[in-house]
Each structure stands twice: as structure tokens, then as C-alpha cells.
Copies of this chain bind each other. A is one copy, B any other.
């Protein structure tokens, strides 16, 4: 795709970012190079003015402090300002029966871009179709997409391993419901020769259909059921939380047990990790990683992943608002 604003009905509109599916490896490369540049600029401490005078509206129908904070900081790091609209379904015209379409049309009149978070899959796409003048960025729509999360995961792997192909990884936890797992598998399938070991309780295995889908897209998938079967020296471990709120009733009874079935400990790292293995987690974690690991330089979940989240969002905002 092109990040350039596009002419629609005679008017220029910045590129909407709704799904990871929009990105080719070349797009990702452009984005990561810009994110890296932003990191360097931020490090030298001189305030950026890229979004000086620009306003980004953050509409969060389902507040999420982490994503909200990351997008907010990204806008402000670039010298822009935000208008923060939290829970409009409770606090506004939406509660009087206004449609999403009208809400988006109103806020685009005030904004240079709109970042939207919504509990219902597909909402970001609808918002993008409705917005006439300003780009929409999806900050997560339910079980749908959360493209910037996957981009920051890929960016972290690229940064630490120097490549996005010929990788061996392990994905662990709730592989049935985990949105981040699915999106990262999609992302990895854009590159050649990637192998992913899948480790989960049998109730939370990737569905047969998803297994076939991602396999056919080119990622080699290998299911394992015990930590002992993990390969040595993988390039990355991608651990995830068992999401209580997404469990089927019969698995829910078993939650306490499922939650801590697989845990990253110092012992596991000593046995299975290599010098360059990175330990990733999309956060929040609720016991899957022993905090003792946090200070290990290979643990990137509280450091590189979080920081890359901001640089990715800064780069994306810059691209869709200014076209460069």
C-alpha cells in the first residue's frame, strides 16, 4: 500500500490503518525504518515538531490505559495534542442513540486523525469508511484486529534478531482465543522459512482450521504439549495470558489450573533459552512469567516491546497524517 494521502471524492484523506492485512513486507520495512529514526531522535532529546499544531482524537469506547497511554504519548512526543474521548457511549450523544457514523463524522471535523478502540470486531473498518477527511487508526476492536500490537511485536523481533525470516519461535498460552498470537502468526507468514512451536493446554490449542490456515500461509507449525518439548535456543518465546474473560464455561472451572500451566522461570531459561533468545509477552501478565526474570536482558516485555509500541505508533501517525 502507499502511506500517502489518497484522493477520495476530490478530497485528500490520510491512509486508514485498520488491519495488519494491509501491510506488505515493504510497508513494514518503511514503517520500521521510520520508527528507528524516531527512536534516535527521541534519544537525542530535542523535541519533535512533526505534529506541531495537529490534533489527534482518541475515541476509546472500551478504555485500555496501556494502549491509550501509548498513543497519547506518541502524539505528544511528536509535538501534537490529543482530544481524549473516553466511554462516549456513556457520556455523550451516543447514549441518546447517535450512530457510530455520526460520531465519527463529528469528531473528524475537529481532528487530523482519529484513533479508535471499540469492543466490537469490524468497528474500525466501518469508521474508516465513514470518515471523509481524516485517517482512522484501529487501536483494537474486540476479537478483531489490533494492528499496532503486532507491528510492535514484529519490530521487536526484527530489532533483536536482525531479521523476520528463518526464525524459530515458541508461542505459549491461550492459542485458541489469543488475538495477539493469531496476528503475529499472520505477520510471520509474510516472511520465509519461519517455524513456530505451539505450546498450550489442550483446551486452548489453536483450532484445526486456524492451524491449517496459518500453515498454508507458509509458517511451519509444530504442536507440543510440555515445556520439555520446547526447542533449545529458539529466537523468541511469545508467552501469553490465559484470558479468563474469553474461556468457555467448561474451561472456566479449570481456570486456576490453566492459568499457571506454563510458566517462564529461571530454570526453564537455563534449560531451553539461548544467548539470543528473547522472552516476549503482550502484557498484562498475571503470573505466567516469574518476576525474577524481569532483569534478564533477554526479557523484552517490559522494555523493548513497550518502547517499540510508542515508536511504531509515532511512525504510523507521522505517515498517515503527514504522508512521510
A65 & B92 in contact (Cβ 8 Å cutoff) = yes
A53 at interface (Cβ–Cβ under 8 A)? yes
A105 contacts chain B at the CB level, 8 A cutoff = yes
B-contacting 9-mer, from A68-76, A176-184, A187-195, A209-217:
A68-76
Given A284-B102, A306-B109, A94 and B65 contact (CB-CB distance below 8 Å) = yes
User: Is B96 within 8 A of A284, CB to CB?
Assistant: yes
Give Cα A66–Cα B86 distance, bound, in whole angstroms: 12
Residues of B close to A207: CB separation below 8 A:
none
CB of A291 within 8 A of chain B? yes
Chain A residues close to B by CB (< 8 Å): 45-48, 52-53, 55, 57, 63-66, 68-70, 72-73, 76-77, 79, 81, 83-86, 88, 91-94, 96-98, 101-103, 105-107, 109-111, 241, 244-245, 283-287, 291, 294, 302-303, 306-307, 309-310
Copies of this protein chain in the complex: 3
* Chain B residues, CB < 8 A from A111: 73
With A109-B307, A302-B106 known as contacts, the answer to whether A79 contacts B53 (CB < 8 A) is: yes
With known contacts A97-B286, A109-B303, A307-B109, A83–B73 Cβ distance under 8 A: yes
- Complex partner residue of A102 from B55, B73, B285, CB under 8 angstroms: B285
Bound: A235/B173 CA distance, A: 64
* A203 → B minimal CB distance (Å): 20
| A73 touching B110, Cβ below 8 Å | yes
The closest CB in chain B to the CB of A62 belongs to: B91
With a cutoff of 8 Å between Cβ atoms, the chain B residues found around residue A109 in the complex are: 302-303, 306-307, 309-310
Residues of B contacting A81 in the complex (Cβ-Cβ under 8 angstroms): 76, 81
A300 CA / B105 CA spacing, docked (Å): 12
CA distance in complex: A289, B219 (Å): 50
Do B55 and A77 touch across chains, with their CB atoms under 8 A apart?
yes
**A46 x B57 contact (CB < 8 A):** no
Does the CB pair A98–B286 fall under 8 Å? yes
